[in-house]
Structure 1
Amino acid sequence: MKKSTINFTVELDDNNIPEKIFWEATGKPEPGLTETKSISVSLWDHTQKNTLRIDLWSKDMPVDDMKRFHVECLGGIAQSILTSTQDEFMSNEINALCERLVNHLKGQNP
């Protein structure tokens, strides 16, 4: 059986706030640690029927980048729903929300 791993390394300041976040994974084109400013990982607990989340961001990540990161995560969820369930309605609704949020970030509130 083939196995794959994803590892995160977080450097914390004295107040346990992330200063730097690194990740590495088997099969990644460039081996070794790569720095990132934010991660968002969701895990489905099939026993409890709920989602466990890990959200981290470095303290120097700009707020505008954080907002864009979340909008792009939502867009990825829309694609995942379509791929995994073929539910076009849910995918389209999430994509429509993403479009409204992009307009909001551009200052074009409807």
Structure 2
Amino acid sequence: MHTSTITVNVSLDQDKVPDQIEWKATDSTAAEFQKARAMMISFWDGADKSALRVDLWTKEMMVDEMADFFYQTMSAMADTYLRATQQQELSDDLKNFAKEFYHKFRKSQEQQNS
């Protein structure tokens, strides 16, 4: 059996706020650690029937980047859900929600900047 390992290093400041996030995967083509400004990791606990999550972002993460990150993550979740369940309508609903979320974010940014 092949084992793949993903390593995540999080450097914290004196207030325990993430200062730097970097990751590396054994099956990746990248030889060095890759930097990231945010991460979301979810695990499904089948025994408890609950999701366990780790959501972190660095001080460098900008609000517009966070909106992009959420939009892309929700869209990718819709793709994953479709592959796993073949539920096209529900996948489309999630993608449409992601688009609406992003549109509302952009609109709120325009209003703040006017």
Give me the TM-score of the superposition, normalised by structure 2: 0.90
Instruction: Name 2:104's counterpart in structure 1.
Output: 104
Residue aligned with 1:27, SS: coil
Give the Å deviation of 1:89. 1.6
Instruction: Name 2:55's counterpart in structure 1.
Output: 55
After superposition, the CA RMSD in angstroms is 1.1
Q: Work out whether residues 67 and 102 of structure 2, in 8 Å CA contact, stay in contact via their aligned partners in 1.
A: no
Aligned 1:1-110 pairs, distance under 5 A: 1-107=1-107
Q: Gaps (5+ residues) in structure 1?
A: none
Q: Deviations over 1:58-100 (max 9, x none)?
A: 0111011011101111001100100011111210100111121
Give the Å deviation of 1:105. 2.8
Q: Gaps (5+ residues) in structure 2?
A: 109-114
Q: Identity of counterpart residues, as a percentage?
A: 30
> Which structure is higher in helix share?
2
State the 4+ residue runs in structure 1 displaced beyond 4 angstroms.
none
Moved more, 25-34 or 97-106: 97-106
